[in-house]
Copies of this chain bind each other. A is one copy, B any other.
Amino acid sequence: MTIAPQEDRLHAQIEFALEIDKLKRVIRRNTLMDGSRRENDAEHSWYIGMLAMVMGEYAPPGTDLDRVTAMLLVHDIVEIDAGDTFIYDSAAVAAQPELERKAAERIFGLLPADQAGRLRELWEEFEERRTPEARFAKALDRLAPILANHRTEGGTWSLYKVTAEQVRKNVKIIEDGSPALGRYAAELIELSVSRGHLAVS
């Protein structure tokens, strides 16, 4: 008996759906806003998807916010294979692109070719940060941990001995995607420094 092409297609999509459930088990350094536990990639992706919905007005005019949301939902899926990289761990950051490229091939490759291509494009666009959509998406991805660390009075900054100088470099990435959110993040950082929750050096 031959399988109808339609069924074959649904079968591939279901395989992908079962696979990406694993994103719920990829644990990030950052904690929830109440500091109770570290967050996972899946709930983080939901969170910044919501930020896109609520903070959209701070993206440059004409930014396609639905594309930003799609990018944010997809952006961490490669970490199922490649793992989460702490942005302040330079050695890990250097090794990451090759691991993530292979992961994208395997995981998106579970889908029918047209969809695999589409999701891969979204992920690459996010990583390359050339479009306003990607720059805004990345800004939200970087803003979320700053909110959490500010809220938890230092959080992973204190725990991993991150300095204000390092965090300020991140603000540049936020400014790149959204000047208004960049200014807000800068204020939070200086507030954290003044309260002794973020070391100057």
Give A residues with C-beta under 8 Å from B: 10, 13-14, 16-18, 20-25, 32-34, 36, 39-40, 42-43, 45-47, 49-51, 53-55, 58, 66, 69-70, 73-74, 111, 115, 119, 147-148, 151, 180, 184
The A interface is mostly helix, strand or loop, or mixed, namely helix
Known: A24-B39, A25-B32, A39-B24. A10 touches B50 (CB 8 A): no
Q: Which of B20, B46, B47, B180 contacts A10 (CB 8 A)?
A: B180
Known: A10-B180, A66-B66. A21 touches B49 (CB 8 A): no
Contact A21 B46 (CB under 8 A): no
Contact A147 B32 (CB under 8 A): no
Contacts of A25 in B (CB 8 A): 32, 34, 36
